[in-house]
C-alpha cells in the first residue's frame, strides 16, 4: 500500500469534506424558534431512551394487545376544550368515600365541581378538591385571577429568587427539612412552622411573602425547583420552577405516605375577602386517595402487550428468570444479558414528534433503584418498542408527543420473582 493509500489518512480526508457553515436562514430560523420557546428549568436531565430496534423482539411469543387508553381528552395543552365534569359515581360530600368523583382535565377553564388529579406529577396518589365557578387549571395549580392553589413536589430551593443557582447542599427529603429551608431563605419572610393535619395527613403549615428589598418578584423569579424526574413534561414549555409571587402565601407541607407534598395557596397581592374565602374553600376541600386516573392527554393510543391490564389501572408484571404466561407468553427471556427482567411491548399511535422538543417514551425507575431499566424503540410506522424492567418496585412510564400534545403516564408495578 502506498502512502497515498494510507487508509487512516484517506478516512480523515474523507471526514474533512463537506459543508462547515450553517446557512444564515438557519440562524434566523433558530432565532425565531427561541423567540417562540420558553426556557424551562429542570433539576436533572431526563434519562434518554436507549434507541435500539424491535428486531431483538422478533422471536418473542405472540402477544395479546390490550388497548390501555385511546381517549382524547385534550388535544393541545393551551387550546384544550372546557373540562366537562362527569357524573359522580359517589355522592359529593361523602366523607372518606374516595376522592375521585370527577376526572380532572387540564389546562383550561374548570366548571365548578369536584376534581381529582395527580396533576403533572407521577404521584402514586390523587388529590381531590372542589373548585367554585370561575377557576382555571394550570400545570400544577388551579387559579382565579391572581389567586391560586398549587400542589407541588419540591426538590430544592434557590439561593436567590433572581438566580438559577440552587441551594447546596440540597434541601433534605423530609417535611421539616423543607420547612427549615424556607425559614432560612433570606428572600422570604416566613412565619414559624406549625404542626398541622390536612385531610388526615400530618405536616406543617406556615406563611411566607417576599422579603423587603427582594427585587425579583414575579413569574420569572424562583422560589424552589420542581423535581425533574417526577414531573411530566407538559407540552412544549416544560415544567416550571415555582416563582416568587407577590402577596402572602399559605403553605402546607405534608407527608402523604412518604411523599412530601406542598400546597402553596394565595389570594394574590391585594386579596379581596370573597376570593380569600374561595381559596380557603379549595384548600379545605382537599382529600387524598388512591391513584385511579393516570394522566392521558391528547388524541393518541398506547397499546400494551399485556393480557390483564384494565384501562386506567397500574400494570403489574413479575420479575423473574422466566417470564410468566400472562405477560408475553412462555417465551424465553430475550434479554439474558440483563439478568432477571420483566418486559412490556408497546405500540403508540397518534403521536407526532416535535421539533426542538424531544418526545417519546421515558422510564423512571423506583426510588433508590440502582438500575435504569432498558428500552428499545423504533419510530418506523409510529412508536413501538419494549420497556424492560430489571428491578422490583413501581416504575413510571411516560410517553410524550410534542406536536400532537399527547401525553401518557402510568405506573408499572414490578413484583420480585416468586
Contacts with other proteins, residue ranges (CB under 8 A): 4-5, 7-23, 26-27, 29-31, 33-35, 37-45, 48, 51-53, 55, 164, 220, 228, 236, 238, 353, 355-358, 378-381
Q: Per the structure block, which three cell numbers stand in for 352?
A: 407526532
Burial class (CB in 10 A: 0-12, 13-18, 19+), 154: buried
**Burial profile 162-174: b = 16 or more Cβ within 10 angstroms, e = fewer:** beeebbeeebeee
Residue located via cell numbers 431563605: 185
- Shortest CB 62 distance to other proteins, Å: 24
Residue number, 3 or 273, with CB nearest to other proteins: 3
- Shortest CB 92 distance to other proteins, Å: 41
**Burial profile 279-309: b = 16 or more Cβ within 10 angstroms, e = fewer:** beebbebbbbbebbbbbbbbbbbbbbbbeeb
Burial class (CB in 10 A: 0-12, 13-18, 19+), 176: middle
The terminus-to-terminus CA distance of the chain in angstroms comes to 62
Residue located via cell numbers 440562524: 27
Q: Peptide bond before 56: cis, by omega within 30 degrees of 0? A: no
Residue number, 7 or 310, with CB nearest to other proteins: 7
With CA atoms as reference, report the closest residue to 324 among 339, 303, 336, 308. 308
With CA atoms as reference, report the closest residue to 175 among 147, 159, 195, 192. 195
- Shortest CB 197 distance to other proteins, Å: 36
With CA atoms as reference, report the closest residue to 374 among 329, 335, 326. 335
With CA atoms as reference, report the closest residue to 367 among 123, 175, 178, 158. 123
- Shortest CB 41 distance to other proteins, Å: 4
- Shortest CB 273 distance to other proteins, Å: 36
Q: Which conformational region is residue 230 in: left (phi greater than 0), alpha (psi within -120 to 50 degrees), or beta?
A: alpha
Residue number, 236 or 411, with CB nearest to other proteins: 236
Residue located via cell numbers 446557512: 23
Residue number, 360 or 411, with CB nearest to other proteins: 360
Cα–Cα distance between 373 and 155 in angstroms, integer?
23
- Shortest CB 78 distance to other proteins, Å: 16
Residue number, 153 or 286, with CB nearest to other proteins: 153
Residue number, 100 or 404, with CB nearest to other proteins: 404
Residue number, 13 or 82, with CB nearest to other proteins: 13
- Shortest CB 356 distance to other proteins, Å: 3
Residue number, 191 or 378, with CB nearest to other proteins: 378
Residue number, 34 or 184, with CB nearest to other proteins: 34
The DSSP bridge partners found for residue 346 are: 304, 385
Q: Is 385 within 8 Å of 346 (Cβ atoms)?
A: yes
- Shortest CB 11 distance to other proteins, Å: 5
- Shortest CB 280 distance to other proteins, Å: 34
- Shortest CB 15 distance to other proteins, Å: 4
Cα–Cα distance between 190 and 184 in angstroms, integer?
9
Residue number, 21 or 212, with CB nearest to other proteins: 21
Amino acid at each position: 500500500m502506498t502512502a497515498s493509500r494510507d487508509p487512516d489518512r484517506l478516512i480523515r480526508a474523507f471526514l474533512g469534506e463537506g459543508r462547515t457553515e450553517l446557512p444564515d436562514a438557519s440562524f434566523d430560523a433558530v432565532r425565531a424558534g427561541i423567540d417562540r420557546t420558553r426556557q424551562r428549568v429542570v433539576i436533572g436531565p431526563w434519562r434518554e431512551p436507549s434507541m435500539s430496534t424491535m428486531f431483538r423482539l422478533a422471536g418473542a411469543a405472540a402477544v395479546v394487545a390490550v388497548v390501555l387508553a385511546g381517549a382524547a381528552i385534550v388535544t393541545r395543552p393551551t387550546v384544550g376544550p372546557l373540562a366537562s365534569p362527569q357524573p359522580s359515581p359517589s355522592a359529593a360530600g361523602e366523607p372518606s368515600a374516595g376522592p375521585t368523583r370527577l376526572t380532572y382535565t387540564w389546562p383550561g377553564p374548570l366548571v365548578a365541581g369536584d376534581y381529582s388529579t395527580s396533576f403533572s406529577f407521577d404521584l402514586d396518589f390523587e388529590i381531590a378538591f372542589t373548585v367554585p365557578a370561575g377557576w382555571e387549571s394550570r400545570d400544577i395549580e388551579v387559579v382565579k385571577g391572581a389567586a391560586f392553589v398549587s400542589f407541588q413536589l419540591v426538590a430544592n430551593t434557590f439561593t436567590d429568587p433572581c438566580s438559577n443557582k440552587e441551594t447546596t447542599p440540597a434541601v433534605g427529603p423530609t417535611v421539616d427539612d423543607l420547612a427549615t429551608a424556607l425559614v432560612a431563605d433570606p428572600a422570604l419572610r416566613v412565619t414559624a412552622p406549625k404542626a398541622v393535619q390536612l385531610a388526615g395527613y400530618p405536616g406543617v403549615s406556615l406563611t411566607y411573602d417576599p422579603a423587603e428589598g427582594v427585587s425579583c418578584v414575579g413569574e420569572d423569579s424562583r422560589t424552589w425547583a420542581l423535581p425533574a424526574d417526577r414531573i411530566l413534561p407538559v407540552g412544549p414549555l416544560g415544567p416550571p420552577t415555582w416563582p416568587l409571587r407577590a402577596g402572602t402565601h399559605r403553605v402546607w407541607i405534608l407527608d402523604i405516605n412518604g411523599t412530601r407534598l406542598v400546597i402553596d395557596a394565595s389570594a394574590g397581592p391585594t386579596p379581596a375577602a370573597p376570593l380569600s374565602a374561595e381559596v380557603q374553600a379549595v384548600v379545605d376541600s382537599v382529600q387524598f386517595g388512591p391513584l385511579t386516573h393516570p394522566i392521558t392527554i391528547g388524541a393518541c393510543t398506547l397499546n400494551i402487550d399485556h393480557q390483564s391490564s384494565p384501562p386506567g389501572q397500574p400494570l403489574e408484571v413479575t420479575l423473574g428468570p422466566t417470564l410468566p404466561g400472562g405477560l408475553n407468553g412462555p417465551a424465553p427471556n430475550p434479554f439474558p444479558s440483563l439478568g432477571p427482567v420483566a418486559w412490556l411491548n408497546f405500540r403508540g399511535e397518534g403521536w407526532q414528534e416535535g421539533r426542538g422538543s424531544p418526545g417519546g417514551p421515558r422510564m423512571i425507575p423506583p426510588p433508590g433503584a440502582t438500575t435504569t431499566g432498558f428500552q428499545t424503540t423504533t419510530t418506523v410506522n409510529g412508536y413501538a418498542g419494549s420497556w424492560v424492567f430489571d428491578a422490583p418496585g413501581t416504575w413510571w412510564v411516560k410517553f410524550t408527543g410534542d406536536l400532537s400534545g399527547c401525553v401518557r403516564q402510568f405506573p408499572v408495578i414490578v413484583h420480585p420473582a416468586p
